[in-house]
Amino acid sequence: MSEQFTPTEKTKLYRIPKRGVYERETIYQILDEGFICHIGFTAGGKTYVIPTSYARQGDKLLIHGSSASRMMREMAQGIEVCVTVTLLDGLVLARSAFHHSMNYRSVVIFGTAQLITDAGEKYAALKAFTEHIIPNRWQEIRPPNDLELKATIVLSLPIEEASAKIRTGDPVDDEVDYPLNVWAGVVPLKMKQGQPIRDPRLNSDVKLPKYL
């Protein structure tokens, strides 16, 4: 398997191309760090962009949702979709309003999802979702029953047409603005886990798991 995705007409970056990244490892790292993707699709002549959770399983992006979901039903029909994931790393404050920016890592994937019908594959996909959210969680929770499996659609999107766009570093001002006495720099942003809060109905003898 190639270590690089081949840029296509849709994935090649034309605006600030130096920020474009096509390395498979980098793209997968961004996907593995994120939790929410946005899926763009067209149905009935109207265009939608829906946020949802996802998980990566090898070279496939897994998406799941209710069997009653319009998005899931449409995607199961084989329509083309665009999936984006963005991680915000910092606010870039420049001396001028024009050059304010953000440091970020983003991924865009184009493709057609496939409905997972095999019971074993579907079960493994739901496990992957849970483990992506909290590793080691699956081993102690109740797995989905037949009714829950029936109520859930799981789709697999091959990661074949993809690219990343990354911005890092300091603000880039016009030379004429550098002498201005205005604070400039980067305000780092990072998602951080807080202290777990017990469910009020949790049995008092249940201790906080080590993985939390």
Q: State the pTM of this model.
A: 0.94
Above 90 in pLDDT, residue 133? yes
Q: What is the pLDDT of residues 168-204, one digit of tens each?
A: 999 999 999 999 999 999 999 999 999 999 999 999 9
Residue 3 near residue 24, CB atoms below 8 Å: yes
Q: How far apart are CA 85 and CA 106, in angstroms?
A: 6
User: How many other β-carbons are positioned within 10 Å of the β-carbon of residue 55?
Assistant: 21
CATH number at residue 66: 2.30.110.10
Give domain status of residue 193, yes or no: no
Give domain status of residue 204, yes or no: no
Helix (H, G, I), strand (E, B) or coil at 107: strand
Q: How far apart are CA 93 and CA 3, in angstroms?
A: 35
Give domain status of residue 95, yes or no: yes
Beta bridge partners of 153: 65
Q: How far apart are CA 212 and CA 203, in angstroms?
A: 17
Residue 132's domain spans which residues? 17-174
- Give pLDDT, residue 1: 63
Banded model confidence at residue 164, pLDDT cuts 50, 70, 90: very high
Percentage helix, strand, coil for the chain under 3-state DSSP, each rounded to 5:
20, 35, 45
Count structural domains, the chain: 1
Give domain status of residue 200, yes or no: no
**Chain centre distance of CA 172:** 28
Give domain status of residue 9, yes or no: no
Give domain status of residue 80, yes or no: yes
Give domain status of residue 85, yes or no: yes
Give domain status of residue 27, yes or no: yes
